Every structure is written in structure tokens, then in C-alpha cells.
Amino acid sequence: MNNLIIKSVAVIVCVCISSLTFAQKITRNNISIITETQPLPLNEKATLVEYKTYSYIEKYGEFKKASFANEKHKCEYDENGNILLKSYVYESVVNTGTTHTDGTKDGSKVLEQDSNSEKFNYDEAGKLIKSVIKKKDYNRSNQHIFFIVKYLRDNEGNIIGKNVYEKKYGRLKNRYTYKYDTQNRIIERTDYYGEDLITDTFFYSYNENNDISLRRRKQNKTTDEIYFYGSNSNEIDSIKIHTYDKMTKYNESKMKVYDYRMNDNGTWIVKKETLKDSSELHKVKPIKSIERKFYSSEELTQIANKLSTEKNRKQVVAQNDIIKRIYTVLDEIKTNFKGEDCYKIQKKNIYNSYMKIYDSLSHSDDNLDRLNKIQIKVIDLEKADSKKLEKALKKQQDLVVLEDLIMSF
């Protein structure tokens, strides 16, 4: 009897877990379609995910991955895994040196260019209510234009519409509508320009695991994307793409194949995409490689602290060079006697006291802020009437007293 009860409980627990997983997939698929962003993997506790996309360059019949990412985008999430911000940065290589006759270049560097972003807003219940889009307008000297996105819901809380307005004029730019099946899964999305002009329609089908198995796009021509999943994961192994145009009788089939490298959590961190054409399926053409990094809030804090420390250290080193330069002056007597430029240290007691303090404090990053304040004071003292301070410093060797005398003058 007891064994029967245990088995029944186990079955109920399994069903609940399975239902929870299905419900999560439905929600995540819907949000992914509506926001056009990839959900945070369930087994990752991250607040920021960084994606770097590398293209492949064909040279001498071989494909080589580009040395720099031609696109980077970041997604920020809250503690519940809701998307807060997605932003795009493009990288370009700029030649800063000489171009040789053989085509090689010296002094090139990678520049990051801020591009588009979207910030999402939620109500107290965690429902998506609005987002703000920032886009670079390449027709207006790369200025940014902004759009306000409002989400419309039905009585069950499903998002059935998304309206995009130009922020400056308040005009409706685009709108999107969504239809659901009896399990609250999105099965149709229609895109409009303005109020009535249909520009695109998408249809979605799902497999028994609630994964999207088919996306059909009907514009001027019909494109079917059939998704195939790996047996041990929810990641897509390949996508079969078939495009047919009734007007031109255009008919093409191709397949995208994906290879993954996983981390210890079983989440992909590198995804390589290759393309197979229907006419030459034995030929594989690499298209792109995407690298994905996850950052927790603690890791972001550590990175920010490290960057701040590096910035402070550079500032301290730069200001130390300034102090050495302004306290080093031309000795006119020695210069006239020797016939060449000779230098001496002015306000020697201030300078020597400062250098003792600098040598003592500069070895530890914990002292950078303190040292920075001392340096600013010493720079100011170069033009001050400081004879009393110099006399007091001459009699002291204690570093704490030296610092106190300089800072309190």
C-alpha cells in the first residue's frame, strides 16, 4: 500500500514538473517571438549575456574566421530572467598607419560603434507594458531616433498587439498582431506598416515538447523554416529552409547546420552556423560563429571595479609624470657654465617628501584614491608660497606626518 502511494506521488510530481517545463517553454517562446530576443537559459543565473558574431572569409578556397567580431550585442536581465535591455555594437577595423605595396597594413585598430538598442519596462506584476527603441539614423549624420512601443493584451493577459510610435511626432510607424491556439501559444504574427498595410505574415507550429518546429513566412514568396532539435538538448541541430515564389517560379532549398560548444551547465557558449545548398549538399560553407558569455551581477561588479582601478592607476601614473615635469626646472647658472641644458628640482623638500609618500603608497591599489588627492595637492603647491611648509617638511622623516603636513597646508 505504501509503495503504491509513493509511486502515485512520484507520478504527480513528474507531471507537475513536466507541466511547469511546458508552461515555461510556452511563455519563453511567446516572449521570444514578441520581443525578438533570446530568453535567458533556465540553467544560467546571469544578469548580462554578451554575444559576439564572427563572419568567415573565403581565401584560396578555404574559409577562415574573421579576427574581430563584426557585430556585438548584449542582453540585460532582471532577477526573474525578464529582458531589460538589448543593445548592439558594431566593430570595424580602422587603418591608423601605413599601407604597404603588398596590401598589408600597420597600426590598425578595432573601433566600436554604438548602434541600436531597446529598453523594456514592466509593471509591478512583472508584465511587459512598454519599451523604448533607439536607432541610428544613417541619413541624418548618424543621429539617433527614438520609438515608443506599447503592448496590447487580451482578457487572459496574452499580448495580442504591439504598436510602434515615433517618439518625436507620436505617429504610428509599425504594428504587429498575434494569434494564439488553445494552449496560449503564438501561431500567427502579422506585421503592418502604419495602420493597414500588411508587410509580412508568420505562422508557427510546435512539436510535442512545445518547441517551435516550423516557421512559415508569407510575403511576396513563401519561406518554410523547419527546425530539427538534438535528442539530448533543446538546441536546434539544423534548419531546413525552402523558399518558393509563385510569380517567378523561384524554388530553392538549403539547410543551416549548427555545431555547439557547451559550458559546465550544459549551455552553449559557441555556436557555429554552416550552410548546405540543396544542389551540393556535400559542400559545407561556414557562415558565422557566435560566442556567448554569461555575467552575474557579482562578476559585473568585479569587472567594473577592475576597470575603475586600472583607470585610477593610469591617472596616478600620469599625474606623477606631471609632478616630475613641473618641479623640474632649468638651472640657468649651470646651463651657462656648461653650455648645455642643466636641470634642478625646485621646492626640493616638497618634491622629495612627495616622492617618499608616492614610493610608499603606489604599490597597493587600495591607496590609489588617497594618492590621487595627494598628487592634486602637490600640483597646486607648485605655484603657492610654501616656505613654511618646506621648512617643516625638512625636519620630518615620518611618512604619516609628511602627508599630514602637505594635505593640511
pLDDT tens track for 166-181:
999 999 999 999 999 9
CA angle (184 as vertex; 181, 189 as ends), nearest 5: 65
**String of DSSP letters for 162-212:** EEEEETTT--EEEEEEEEE-TTS-EEEEEEEETTTEEEEEEEEEE-TTS-E
Dihedral, 186, 191, 197, 201 alpha carbons, nearest 10: -60
- Residues counted in the chain: 409
CA pseudo-torsion sign 344, 346, 352, 358: negative
The answer to whether 164 and 149 have CB atoms below 8 angstroms apart is yes
CA distance 296 to 283: 40
**Rounded mean pLDDT, 397-404:** 92
Percent of the chain with pLDDT over 90: 56
- The strand ranges marked E within 96-142 are 108-122, 128-137
Compute the average pLDDT of residues 276-289. 75
- Please tell me the predicted confidence (pLDDT) of residue 268: 93
Q: Which three cell numbers stand for residue 362?
A: 603606489
Q: What is the pLDDT of residues 349-395, one digit of tens each?
A: 999 999 999 999 999 999 999 999 999 999 999 989 999 999 999 88
What residue spans define the domains of the chain?
Answer: 2-210+255-295, 300-408
For 311, the grid coordinates are 583607470
Which band of pLDDT confidence, cut at 50, 70 and 90, is reported for residue 204?
very high
* Angle at which helices 297-327 and 348-361 cross, to 10°: 160
Quick check: 277 pLDDT over 90?
no
Find the Cα–Cα–Cα–Cα dihedral 330, 333, 335, 341, rounded to 10°: -10
Mean pLDDT score, 128-150: 87
Residue 190 CB burial class (10 angstroms; 0-12, 13-18, ≥19): middle
- What is the number of alpha carbons within 13 Å of residue 108 lying toward its C-beta? 14
State how far the Cα of 78 lies from the Cα of 99, in Å rounded to an integer: 47
- Give the DSSP H/E element, type plus range, for residue 328: strand 328-330
Which pTM was predicted? 0.73
The whole-number pLDDT of residue 62 equals 85
Please give the pLDDT value at position 333.
85
**367 secondary structure, DSSP code:** G
